[in-house]
Structure 1
Amino acid sequence: MQRANAELVRSLGAVRVIDYTKEDFSASGHTYDVIVDTVGTAPFKRSRGSLGRGGRLLLVLATLWQMLLAPWESAVSGKKVVAGPASERVEDLRFLAKLAQEGSLKPVIDRRYTLEQIAEAHRYVETGRKRGSVVVMVSHG
């Protein structure tokens, strides 16, 4: 993991940053309250032993099979597996807006593109090297 990436993750509040190219989190013996799998490499089978009591696994890129198994895995393990699309509730959006107004919510924007550059933006995202959100700006003309 590049030093800049590790610093970014720490600045977002991570207590411990793991360089997945040098360390296998599932073999370290450490347990975590939350594991967020953003790239599909930490399914429940691999993460189960690294989740503490009542821990949560968030599968951002879940397969259909993982989404179907999540309720069962949660029920039998005592650990919460969250997979699939997020539900949108008005109260959640209001809460996020409040955090943003207070400055507590700090989005990470890697790059900005105009609508005319959308193909370039898509190519950049597909590299798997983005370090935050990629924003496509639409002007009202």
Structure 2
Amino acid sequence: MKAVAFDRYGSAEELQYRELSKPIAKSNELLIKVRASSVNPVDWKIRQGNLQLLTGFKFPRIVGSDISGVVVEVGREVTKFQPGDEVYTFLNPLNGGACAEYAVVPESIAAIKPKNITHAEAAAVPIAGLTALQALRDLGEIKAGKKVLINGASGGVGIFAVQLAKALNAEVTGVCSAQNREFVKNLGADIVLDYAEIDFTKQPKKYDIILDAVGKQTFAKCEKVLQSEGVYISTLPSFENFFPMLTSWFLSSKKAQLIVAKPKPDDLGFLRELIESEQTRPIVDRTYSLAEVAAAHTYSQTGRAVGKIAIVIDS
């Protein structure tokens, strides 16, 4: 099968479009004909070697985590899916494997794909959508009327966070660049702040939840604009936030949290319902072919993508 992999850590030039062995599904797995994947920042951070203490040195490594595709084979213990089912989910980013013509997926993490969107759009959902959902609902305990601020509202996680917060009847403030102000407003944000003009950490307004979807703020700066029981949630681990995340549970009524999304079928099902009822929609900034994954990584690294970058695998 065709796949995109690398044999050593480094720049996007290390990515090779090549022939690799087709994977074999175990008894509890699905063999998926991958129709689309997407690029997440963690993909190129792994490729660069930033997480090599976790990823190790076993090569070649197929890049990519998000998957949307069609079941072609099922293991003998699989009961919930059959060949022909269209599914979506994400693989463990530390292992990768999505940017290929075929991938194996445990039955326990797969869910039926939303019917009203393409595979490219569906592949834009899993990691980003689940990060937003699990951050706001599980860590932030979002409720109707809560005041929520999304830092990085036009990015991959941010677009879902804005839409989900509105779908859950919260008051949403989005922070983004001036050029994306109308885009974020159209997603449903009640207030949109240009980060170049306004530092939300120095404003008088206080929030119940601050989701730092780009990991560019710290709990120390955000704490003063949190409500007394407010929660700060970051999508990226950082040295500045490590100690507060350990101690805020004991030393403050305001909490600091780190979100690490989990591929839960029920949550993918919840997102599917929101998408099919048109309360939430994935946004694809650009689409690349499997052979163009290196270019997709390079674009992702600019930080200019509005929404997600999709990888479409030819049938």
- TM-score bucket (shorter structure): 0.7 to 0.9
Matched, 1:35 2:210: yes
Aligned mates of 1:33, 1:6 — CA distance in 2 = 22
Pick aligned residue for 1:26 from 182, 195, 201: 201
List alignment gaps of at least 5 residues for structure 1. none
| Structure 2 contact 275–281 (Cα < 8 Å) conserved | yes
Aligned mates of 1:55, 1:30 — CA distance in 2 = 13
| 1:31-70 matches, cutoff 5 A | 31-63=206-238, 66=241, 69-70=244-245
Matched, 1:2 2:178: yes
Aligned mates of 1:29, 1:82 — CA distance in 2 = 23
**Deviation at residue 120 of structure 1 after TM alignment:** 0.9
The aligned residue for residue 117 of structure 1 is 292
The aligned residue for residue 253 of structure 2 is 78
With over 3 angstroms needed to count, the CA separation of the structure-2 counterparts of 1:41 and 1:121, relative to structure 1, is: same
| Structure 1 contact 67–84 (Cα < 8 Å) conserved | no
1:111 partner SS: strand
Query: Runs ≥4 in structure 1, deviation > 3 angstroms?
Result: 64-69
With over 3 angstroms needed to count, the CA separation of the structure-2 counterparts of 1:86 and 1:69, relative to structure 1, is: farther
TM-score in terms of structure 1 length: 0.85
Comparing 68-77 and 38-47, the one that deviates more: 68-77
With over 3 angstroms needed to count, the CA separation of the structure-2 counterparts of 1:8 and 1:56, relative to structure 1, is: farther
Counterpart of 2:195, as a letter, is Y
List alignment gaps of at least 5 residues for structure 2. 1-176
TM-score in terms of structure 2 length: 0.41
2:221 partner SS: helix
Higher helix share: 1
1:86 partner SS: coil
The aligned residue for residue 279 of structure 2 is 104
1:110 partner SS: strand
Aligned mates of 2:304, 2:210 — CA distance in 1 = 20
**Deviation at residue 9 of structure 1 after TM alignment:** 1.3
- Percentage identity across aligned positions? 31
Kindly name which structure, 1 or 2, has the bigger radius of gyration based on alpha carbons: 2
The aligned residue for residue 95 of structure 1 is 270
The aligned residue for residue 133 of structure 1 is 308
Output the aligned Cα RMSD.
Answer: 2.1
Number of equivalenced pairs: 139
**Deviation at residue 88 of structure 1 after TM alignment:** 2.7
1:17 partner SS: strand
Higher strand share: 2
With over 3 angstroms needed to count, the CA separation of the structure-2 counterparts of 1:43 and 1:85, relative to structure 1, is: same
CA deviations over 1:31-88 (Å, ceiling 9, x no partner)? 1222221222211111011112332322012237736742532453323433141123
2:188 partner SS: coil
| Structure 2 contact 287–310 (Cα < 8 Å) conserved | yes
